[in-house]
């Protein structure tokens, strides 16, 4: 995408006067003042963005986080699959950006026929081991899935990684049966944690996130692509307390996203913990204060519908 698009990428009719939402070294986030959609500028090409996904990103041996958090991650997948089961008919399900296939595995065990697309060969290999040959390795645009065939299409924290989210939603619409369920979870740039912590916000994740949605801009994107939103959830125990916690540590001046290292396996840590013993100790000492605060803030921001991440459930209307 060009750095100064002539019209809002969300199709909201605005043609300029973009707000500067965040200004990082080397990158900034511009924002449409009509619909609230933000975008990272500049957008990196395939090769350059690859450097921001080191081989350690997904960890070794099918484990990205330490055992306690791997267990929690699996519990969250179970909860997510339950929500999807309650809101859809059993049939074909497609997870766009399926990672290691954890959610597909849960749904497959409930009778769904699982399909996935994953750009990371490493993650896709693990997904193929569980799910089989219906995992397409590569981009969504080129994936050969049958049209008018799916009961559910999921974008779980993947839509913000697309260079053209609207094209991805159009394709999802073609693949879904009429009345089929679209599930989209994204960081919420209108959230309290985004606004309060600014460039320290964990979920901003520049330059990996090309787009930055809020509730209105995501709803608009879905409506523009023939979906009717049936539910918007602002409470995510999976994403939002951690978003607060990491953003608070970042704002306090710790090495950026250092806590994340604690949660990962040794092989997938960006920075070894022993390199920063004082920070490691300080994180540990502050945890009893910041963790309860993060939980309270998560409940509060969900209550006022400004959750750090949002999950939208929508039906294909045409
Ligand atoms: Zn707009």
| Rounded distance from Cα 8 to ligand 1 centre (Å) | 5
| Rounded distance from Cα 9 to ligand 1 centre (Å) | 7
What b/e sequence results for 235-255 when a residue is b if at least 16 CB atoms lie within 10 Å of its CB, and e otherwise?
A: bbebbbbbbbbbbbbbeeebe
* Whether 19 contacts 190, CB under 8 Å: no
| Rounded distance from Cα 34 to ligand 1 centre (Å) | 5
DSSP type of residue 264: B
| Rounded distance from Cα 274 to ligand 1 centre (Å) | 45
Taking every pair of Cα atoms in the chain, the longest distance, rounded to a whole number of angstroms, is 57
DSSP type of residue 16: S
| Rounded distance from Cα 83 to ligand 1 centre (Å) | 30
| Rounded distance from Cα 58 to ligand 1 centre (Å) | 34
Residue in the structure block whose two tokens are 């939103």? 229
What b/e sequence results for 302-318 when a residue is b if at least 16 CB atoms lie within 10 Å of its CB, and e otherwise?
A: beeebbbbbbbbbbbee
| Rounded distance from Cα 11 to ligand 1 centre (Å) | 6
Beta bridge partners of 137: 118
| Rounded distance from Cα 158 to ligand 1 centre (Å) | 20
Distances (CA, A) of 226 to 32, 92, 134: 22, 20, 26
| Rounded distance from Cα 286 to ligand 1 centre (Å) | 40
Q: What pLDDT was estimated at residue 19? A: 83
Q: What pLDDT was estimated at residue 256? A: 86
CATH number listed for the domain at residues 57-241+301-316: 3.40.50.150
Residue 308 makes CB contacts below 8 A (sequence gap 6+) with: 187, 188, 191, 192, 193, 194, 203, 236, 239, 240, 243, 244, 298, 301
| Rounded distance from Cα 45 to ligand 1 centre (Å) | 24
Extended strands (E) in the chain: 19-24, 27-31, 38-41, 92-96, 113-118, 135-137, 150-156, 176-187, 211-212, 227-233, 309-316
Residue in the structure block whose two tokens are 């994107």? 221
Show pLDDT as tens, one digit a residue, over the chain (318 residues).
445 677 888 888 788 778 888 877 889 999 999 999 999 988 888 778 877 776 666 555 555 667 777 788 888 888 889 999 999 999 999 999 999 898 999 999 999 999 999 988 888 999 999 999 999 999 999 999 999 999 999 999 999 999 999 999 999 999 999 999 999 999 999 999 999 999 899 999 988 999 999 999 999 999 999 999 999 999 988 889 999 999 999 999 998 888 877 776 666 666 666 677 888 899 889 999 999 999 999 999 999 999 999 999 999 998
Tokens of 235: 């409470």
CB atoms within 10 A of CB 120: 18
**Could you tell me whether strands 309-316 and 227-233 are parallel, antiparallel, or unpaired per DSSP bridges?**
antiparallel
* Whether 224 contacts 166, CB under 8 Å: yes
Whole-angstrom distance, CA of residue 282 vs CA of residue 249: 10
Beta bridge partners of 252: none
| Rounded distance from Cα 177 to ligand 1 centre (Å) | 28
Tokens of 276: 């920063």
**Could you tell me whether strands 150-156 and 176-187 are parallel, antiparallel, or unpaired per DSSP bridges?**
parallel
The answer to whether the pTM exceeds 0.85 is yes
- Name the residue among 153, 309, 150 with its Cα closest to residue 218: 309
| Rounded distance from Cα 186 to ligand 1 centre (Å) | 17
Whole-angstrom distance, CA of residue 98 vs CA of residue 184: 13
User: Domain-by-domain residue ranges, the chain?
Assistant: 57-241+301-316
| Rounded distance from Cα 29 to ligand 1 centre (Å) | 14
Q: What pLDDT was estimated at residue 53? A: 76
Find the helix or strand (DSSP H, E) in which 67 lies: helix 67-87
Instruction: State whether residue 104 is helix, strand or coil.
Output: helix
Q: What pLDDT was estimated at residue 85? A: 94
| Rounded distance from Cα 189 to ligand 1 centre (Å) | 14
| Rounded distance from Cα 165 to ligand 1 centre (Å) | 13
Q: What pLDDT was estimated at residue 251? A: 94
Q: What pLDDT was estimated at residue 40? A: 92
Distances (CA, A) of 261 to 32, 75, 107: 34, 21, 30
Tokens of 62: 């099918």
Q: What pLDDT was estimated at residue 60? A: 56
């Amino acid at each position: 995408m060009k750095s100064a698009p002539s019209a809002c990428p969300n199709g909201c009719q605005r043609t300029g006067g973009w707000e500067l939402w965040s200004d990082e070294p080397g990158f900034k986030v511009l924002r449409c003042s009509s619909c609230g959609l933000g975008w990272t500028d500049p957008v990196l090409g395939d090769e350059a963005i690859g450097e921001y996904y080191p081989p350690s990103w997904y960890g070794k041996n099918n484990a990205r986080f330490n055992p306690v958090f791997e267990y929690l991650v699996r519990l969250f997948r179970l909860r997510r699959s339950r929500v999807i089961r309650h809101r859809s008919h059993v049939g074909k399900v497609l997870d766009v950006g399926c990672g290691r296939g954890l959610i597909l595995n849960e749904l497959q065990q409930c009778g769904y026929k699982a399909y996935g697309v994953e750009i990371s060969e490493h993650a896709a290999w693990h997904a193929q081991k569980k799910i089989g040959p219906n995992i397409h390795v590569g981009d969504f645009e080129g994936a050969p899935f049958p049209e008018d065939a799916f009961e559910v299409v999921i974008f779980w924290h993947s839509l913000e990684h697309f260079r053209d989210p609207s094209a991805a939603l159009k394709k999802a619409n073609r693949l879904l049966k009429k009345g089929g369920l679209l599930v989209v979870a994204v960081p919420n740039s209108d959230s309290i944690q985004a606004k309060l912590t600014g460039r320290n916000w964990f979920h901003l994740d520049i330059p990996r996130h090309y787009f930055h949605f809020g509730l209105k801009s995501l709803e608009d994107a879905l409506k523009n692509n023939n979906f009717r939103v049936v539910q918007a959830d602002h409470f995510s125990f999976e994403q939002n307390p951690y978003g607060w916690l990491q953003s608070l540590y970042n704002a306090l001046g710790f090495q950026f996203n250092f806590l994340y290292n604690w949660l990962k396996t040794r092989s997938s840590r960006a920075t070894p913990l022993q390199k920063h013993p004082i920070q490691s100790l300080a994180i540990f000492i502050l945890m009893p204060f910041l963790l309860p605060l993060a939980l309270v803030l998560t409940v509060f921001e969900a209550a006022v519908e400004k959750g750090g991440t949002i999950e939208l459930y929508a039906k294909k209307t045409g």
